[in-house]
A and B are shown apart, each in its own frame.
Chain A
Amino acid sequence: MKSPLSPKHYLSEEIFALEQKNIFRKLWIFAGIKPALAAHNAFMTREIGGVPVLLQNCSGKIRAFENLCPHRLMPVQTEEFGQTPMRCVYHGWTFNPDGTVRTIPTERHLYNYDAETRQSMCMKQFAVHELGNMIFVCLDDNPLPFDDQFTPEFQEKVAEASMFFGPHAIHSNRRLDFNWKLMFENVIDYNHIPFIHPKSLLPAIPTFRHMFNNEKQEQPALAQISHGPEPVELHQLSFTRECFIDQQPYYWTKHAVKHYGRIDHYYNFYIYPNVNFTCVMGVAFPIQQYHPISAQKTQIRLTCPSVTVDNEYAKRHAANLRSVLLGEYRVMDEDFDALLAFQKAVHRDAPIMEQGHYESDLIAMAHVYKSLLNA
């Protein structure tokens, strides 16, 4: 069947602008993890929907602001992660936990604001929702009810898994020249695994290995989202999958680790629109986020939280995360090669994709995506 999306959805800057406005500035977007902000004045900065966003721990409460000082629109926090009060580096303005201006150095001598202006000046505050150790932000003035985007069952599962995060994570960003949707579609399209990951992922996942060898084994569910003729809704686009993984645990502190779920399972939590949160063997929790930069550029934000451990030394040894990271990179690099090739080849007049039955999830997702774009 024909894909609801045409090549322009992967190429057009006009469509990208619509996505930013009607998806990334409307929906709840995963913004970061709580262990990165677990102290007063700990902060992180990033961009969502083209807007600079500051997440700051204000006396234990995590708040989100537009990261712009109302004076000269300088970013209030300039580092990606850190711990300092909200104070603009340019002219020293400081801010209250609600984003209003607290103090302005030499205010009386140099600024002379009238009372109304002075009172109205603030950093714009955004809605924040904490789901376990995952933080979501909604930039819309009238935030969508969280339950409209994620079912309570899904929320419960994500919250439970994320509560196994330890105090550290390793974080990295990488820009790549392909459309952000390709990566989210790629992680849902399990049928690429035998061809793109024959040596990395395939040997570890018996379900796909047997499928590739035409052996009659348990098949992955064809459709997680769409089960019938009813129109698919937004909250159905975020869902979980799990499968058996045939790999020896590689974590040297495994004896001291508290595991999530089954140690011989691989869990996926697909968080629409752009996050693939996984749990590998109960101890590794890579979070991949496909952050759109432009129609043909994506920032891959990879955060690998540590796991909760009892071992006193292991708690301090964030370098254990290195092995998790290396495994993720290996698989993702293989995906990137394929997606970069797609983006290089696709053009405006290219034919519409012909999708098969197993891709009904992607088709359902594309329908919802188009309705969001046109909302």
Chain B
Amino acid sequence: MSHNPNQKICLIGLGQVYESIAADLHAYASPDTHWLFRPIGHVGLLESCADSVLSSIPQGVSLFVAVDGIALNYARMEIFVPAQERGLPMVNLIHKGACCSPDIQLGCNVWVGPGAVIDYQAEIGDNVMINPMARIDPQARIGNHGWIGRGASVGSCASLGSNCIIGDDVHIKAYTSIGKQCAIAQPGPWSQNITDGTFAEKSIWAPSRVIGEGYTFNTSCHAEESA
């Protein structure tokens, strides 16, 4: 929860996180916080309107970008990245009903929903949405642009790469390592280490993985010929 008196926060985006924050502003900041709203009509407009929306924000106002939904987790970057590149200040929004250990590390533009718990020495990257009742256990690490679903948990010392989506009620067990750009949306415990770009959910056959540049090879990689 932000406690800066006379703070100005601009909420940008669309979807459930946006609506949930907009409906419960006092749970995220002190009553004297001045809020501005920049709702986006449709996710398809994000790319084209990013510039104009960001330009319209007065100086001294901090941003929070909320674009959500599992399939749209990546779309949030269309506002977040340009805002970060412009050096605009961004806040974290932590619901007063969430519980965060004082020694956690949070990036920017992190949302912690009501009832969520972040335990000691956990590290959360930039632009991560932690949904209500989710639990991040001690020393767990979550990469940038992540999505932790409602009631999900990330076990102690588990690590998630960037752009990972953990669905509702998925429980990543302690010490599990999840690569970047993975989606686990199969409710229940998950203890398997998985490589970049792996998808796991009930309706997707296992193993399903992304192949191509950045996943199974790198174009910049000059793999040494073992002569």
Contacts and interface: CB of A to CB of B under 8 A. Distances in A.
A322 B181 CA distance: 11
Interface string A81-116: 111110100001010000000110000000000000
B63 to A, nearest CB: 17
Contact of B222 (A40, A42, A253): A40
A82 B217 contact: yes
B225 A172 contact: no
Contact of A317 (B74, B203, B205): B74
A314 interface: yes
A36 B211 contact: yes
Contacts of B199: 170, 319, 322, 325
Given A85-B224, A254-B44, A313 B203 contact: no
Interface stretch (B51-59, B75-83, B132-140): B75-83
B204 A252 contact: no
Contact of B203 (A35, A85, A302, A329): A329
Interface in B189-227: 197, 199, 203-219, 221-227
Interface string B83-94: 000000000000
B159 interface: no
A253 to B, nearest CB: 8
Interface centre among B72, B203, B209, B226 (most CB of A within 10 A): B226
Interface of B is mostly: mixed
B178 interface: no
Contacts of B197: 168, 170, 318
Interface in A1-54: 35-42, 44
A171 interface: yes
Contacts of A188: none
A252 B72 contact: yes
Given A174-B205, A252-B44, A319-B73, A168 B221 contact: no
A371 interface: no
B183 A311 contact: no
Nearest to B208: A172
A313 B77 contact: yes
B71 interface: yes
A83 B78 contact: no
B225 A94 contact: yes
B163 interface: yes
Contact of B212 (A40, A169, A174): A169
A44 B197 CA distance: 16
Given A83-B217, A319-B183, A171 B209 contact: yes
Contacts of B47: 255-256, 311, 313
B165 interface: yes
B223 A171 contact: no
Interface residues of A, number: 51
A247 interface: no
A82 B71 CA distance: 27
Contacts of A322: 71, 183, 199, 204
A330 interface: yes
B43 interface: yes
Given A38-B217, A317-B74, A329 B205 contact: yes
B99 to A, nearest CB: 30
A322 B227 CA distance: 41
A323 interface: yes
Nearest to B207: A172
Given A40-B222, A41-B217, A85-B225, A319 B74 contact: yes
A121 B206 CA distance: 38
Given A39-B217, A329-B204, A169 B211 contact: yes
A92 B163 CA distance: 37
Contact of B213 (A38, A173, A174): A38
Given A85-B223, A254-B44, A326-B203, A170 B210 contact: yes
Contacts of B204: 172, 322, 325-326, 329
A343 interface: no
Interface string A142-183: 000000000000000000000000011111111000000000
23 contacts: A36-B211, A36-B212, A38-B217, A39-B218, A83-B217, A87-B226, A167-B214, A168-B197, A168-B211, A170-B197, A172-B205, A172-B206, A172-B208, A172-B209, A173-B207, A252-B75, A313-B47, A313-B74, A313-B81, A318-B210, A319-B71, A319-B181, A326-B203
Closest 5 CB pairs of A and B: A83-B217, A172-B208, A42-B217, A168-B212, A81-B216
